[in-house]
Chains A and B, each alone.
Chain A
Amino acid sequence: MLIFERSQPGRHNGAQFQPGDGDVSDIPAVLLREGSLGLPEVSEMQAVRHYTQLSQKNFSIDTHFYPLGSCTMKYNPRACNTLAMLPAFLGRHPLAPASTGQAFLSCMYELQEILKEITGMHTVSLAPLAGAQGEFAGIAMIRAYHQAQGDDQRTEILVPDAAHGTNPATAVMCGYSVKEIPTDAEGDVDVEALRQAVGPQTAGLMLTNPSTLGVFERQMQEIATVLHQAGGLLYYDGANLNAILGKVKPGDMGFDVIHMNLHKTFSTPHGGGGPGAGPVGVSERLAPFIPVPMVTEHYGEYRLLSEVDLPGTIGHLSANMGNVGVLLRAYVYARMLGREGMHRVADFATLNANYLMVRLREESFELAYPTRRATHEFIVTLKKLKDETGITAMDVAKRLLDKGYHAPTTYFPLLVPECLLIEPTETESKEELDGFVTAMKEIYDEAYSDADMIKGAPYSTPVRRLDEVKAARELDLVWQAPDD
């Protein structure tokens, strides 16, 4: 029920809002609204109950295990919130002069430096507002670099077939055509196919390492050599940075550009589609093109760099600094972890995934890449279960909700039929992982004993199974008052 539907004319909240005398005599009559404002009219208690009850329907990392593969749904430490919401941060105007924001700018500068150290890149910009915008900035820089070299014939971006859909979408947005590179049976990029694909038309390769298949690229050095010898640049999709945090630097792997998803790896809230933060890092040869604003430090004084300082920049990605609230939370998180803490993140993210993978295999679940060790996530394929019982990955995902677990990512990557991409993250305990295994085992048994029951799941959620086709075809997002 929407709060508009609870509205009763004349009901209001006098303690919070005193109606004024309504003197609008200085506004020309032609500009005055004729009807009512159309806002819901409810009491304070009705408003509180309405939003409290809505929040209780939310399925979130604060209430449940959320092993959504590739999304890194880890606990968001409350300290990050508390410190990012200090009054001086909250009250700072984005256009305030640097002289009154030295403390804030020092945090942004240090975050840039921390991210440089972790990724092994030459320069980092915090400007992109999300992972997808970070990708856009990264490929725009690759384009700017080739153009600056007078190398206009490079029209193609290579993307492995295991990649996130945002990779080819980004390449097209930046004016490139896309060529797909196949993956071999064990989940590695097919280097021979890559060798055949590169040429004077190659602008770059967008690679996710570890890949979306939950495995590390074992021929990374060879891939980098092939690309660079062809004159292409190597782009690192940082979606899976959690697996290598503090362990391996993308810069050392030969990458020229990287975007990071701070809302994943650096644990800022990212439910509901945002806000995010997608900083980009670049090697020295791409540094002139980095998006602005950048923060610089000179004898202990911080200031923002703009187009004037960096004439080669691809420009601004938003009016100001990006999602500052997210950047501050990520900064606090990084400072709380420190170097050793980041090692532990990678250690336990991969340990938890490998533990869960082995436990599920013991309970008869089939692994998509059984010969490989998991990274921070892994893939189970339910093809056999579907063939034998008719129960699909989507059915299992829906039934998991009844058992109190958010579903893993379903049907991604597209390469693996009936797949679940499972990422437990480092913040879950062994007991929680064991509980998930038990739930999965129960569903597996139910598939053979009572498949029809699973087809009807979920039973315990505020809304039952949604009609996804109807939702996609008849998009209905705007409430209309019955009188309208």
Chain B
Amino acid sequence: MSHANNDLRYTRSHEWVIQISDGTVEVGITEHAQDLLGDMVYVDLPEVGDSLTVGKECAVVESVKAASDIFAPISGEVSEINEVLSETPEILNQDAQGEGWLFRMVPNDAAELESLLDADAYQALIASDAG
């Protein structure tokens, strides 16, 4: 099931995050980002146990148009990756904000989530990009 826009936090580089019930943080790319990128061809994910630094490249998604870096939205350690994406990257197009999640991570400091954009701020960002 897809996450509702209002439940998510966003980065300026079009990743979304949400803290799920076990305390880990799920990370994906936004519906807007998948629409811009078009049909996905490959997804290159980090490995479980990788230590991520906020703002650093941690994954790559490649579509028929372009290969795009994914940046860690917060710092922490990768606890799980969405392995079905390696065989069926089209899930990213079908459900970017749900089944198409990229990886889950244990945050170093959950307070970092608060510094990310909320849904209104993200909508404003993509509206100004389109302008």
Contact = CB atoms under 8 A, between A and B. Distances in A.
Interface string B65-104: 1100000000000000000000000100000000000000
B118 interface: no
Contacts of A472: 41-42, 62, 64
Nearest to B68: A414
Contacts of A26: none
Contact of B41 (A394, A417, A473): A473
Nearest to B39: A469
A212 B36 CA distance: 19
A411 interface: yes
B96 to A, nearest CB: 16
Interface in A466-484: 468-469, 472-473
B130 interface: yes
A249 interface: no
Of the listed residues A394, A414, A468, A469, the one surrounded by the most CB atoms of chain B closer than 10 A to its CB is A469
A469 B66 contact: no
A383 interface: yes
23 contacts: A383-B130, A394-B38, A411-B38, A411-B65, A411-B66, A414-B65, A414-B66, A417-B36, A417-B130, A468-B39, A468-B41, A468-B64, A469-B39, A469-B40, A469-B41, A469-B64, A469-B90, A472-B41, A472-B42, A472-B62, A472-B64, A473-B41, A473-B42
A411 B38 CA distance: 10
Contacts of A469: 39-41, 64, 90
Contacts of A417: 36, 130
Chain B interface residue count: which class? 10 to 19
| Prevailing SS type, chain A contact patch | helix
A411 B39 CA distance: 13
Interface string A394-433: 1000000000000000010010010000000000000000
Contacts of B130: 383, 417
A380 to B, nearest CB: 16
A15 B128 CA distance: 70
A394 B36 CA distance: 12
Contacts of A383: 130
Interface string A440-484: 000000000000000000000000000011001100000000000
A472 B43 CA distance: 13
A225 to B, nearest CB: 30
B126 to A, nearest CB: 11
Contacts of B41: 468-469, 472-473
Contacts of A473: 41-42
A472 B41 CA distance: 7
A468 B38 CA distance: 11
Contacts of B64: 468-469, 472
A185 to B, nearest CB: 9
B92 to A, nearest CB: 12
Contacts of B90: 469
A394 B87 CA distance: 25
A98 B90 CA distance: 59
Interface string B41-57: 11000000000000000
A417 B62 CA distance: 17
A294 B21 CA distance: 67
Contacts of B40: 469
A177 to B, nearest CB: 11
Question: 4 closest A-B pairs (Cβ-Cβ)?
Answer: A472-B41, A411-B65, A468-B64, A469-B39
B100 to A, nearest CB: 15
A417 B39 CA distance: 15
A417 B129 CA distance: 10
A417 B65 CA distance: 11
Contacts of B36: 417
Nearest to A410: B65
A383 B127 CA distance: 13
Nearest to B67: A165
Contacts of A468: 39, 41, 64
Nearest to B93: A469
Contacts of A414: 65-66
A473 B89 CA distance: 10
A394 B62 CA distance: 17
A389 to B, nearest CB: 15
A173 to B, nearest CB: 16
A472 B40 CA distance: 10
A414 B69 CA distance: 13
A394 B64 CA distance: 11
A469 B41 CA distance: 6
Nearest to A387: B130
Nearest to A414: B66
B46 to A, nearest CB: 19
B129 to A, nearest CB: 8
A413 B84 CA distance: 31
Nearest to A415: B129
Nearest to A411: B65
B68 to A, nearest CB: 8
